[in-house]
Structure 1
Amino acid sequence: MTRMVHCVRLKKEAEGLMVPPLPGPKGQWVFENVSQEAWTEWQVHQTRLINEKHLNLMQPEARQYLTEQMDKYFKGEAVDAADGYVPETK
Structure 2
Amino acid sequence: MPHIVFCAKYKAELEGLDEPPFDSDFGEKIYKTVSKKAWGEWIERQKMLLNEYRLQPWTREAQEFLVEQMNGFFFGEGEGGALPKEFVAPTH
Q: One fold, TM greater than 0.5? A: yes
- CA deviations 1:39-81 (Å, max 9, x no partner) are 1101100110001110011221111000000001111356231
TM-score of the superposed pair, with normalisation by structure 2: 0.86
1:14 match: secondary structure? strand
Partner of 1:59: 59
Partner of 2:39: 39
1:2 match: secondary structure? coil
Q: State the one-letter code of the partner of 1:49.
A: L
Partner of 2:88: 85
2:46 match: secondary structure? helix
TM-score of the superposed pair, with normalisation by structure 1: 0.88
Partner of 2:11: 11
Gaps of 5+ in 1: none
Gaps of 5+ in 2: none
Q: State the one-letter code of the partner of 1:63.
A: Q
How far has the Cα of 1:87 moved from its partner?
5.7
Q: Output the CA distance in 2 between the equivalents of 1:49 and 1:13.
A: 28
Q: Percent identity?
A: 36
CA 1:23–1:54 in structure 2 vs 1: closer, same or farther (change >3 Å)? same
RMSD over aligned Cα, in angstroms?
A: 1.8
Q: Output the CA distance in 2 between the equivalents of 1:24 and 1:55.
A: 22
Number of corresponding residues? 89
Partner of 2:27: 27
4+ runs deviating over 3 angstroms: none
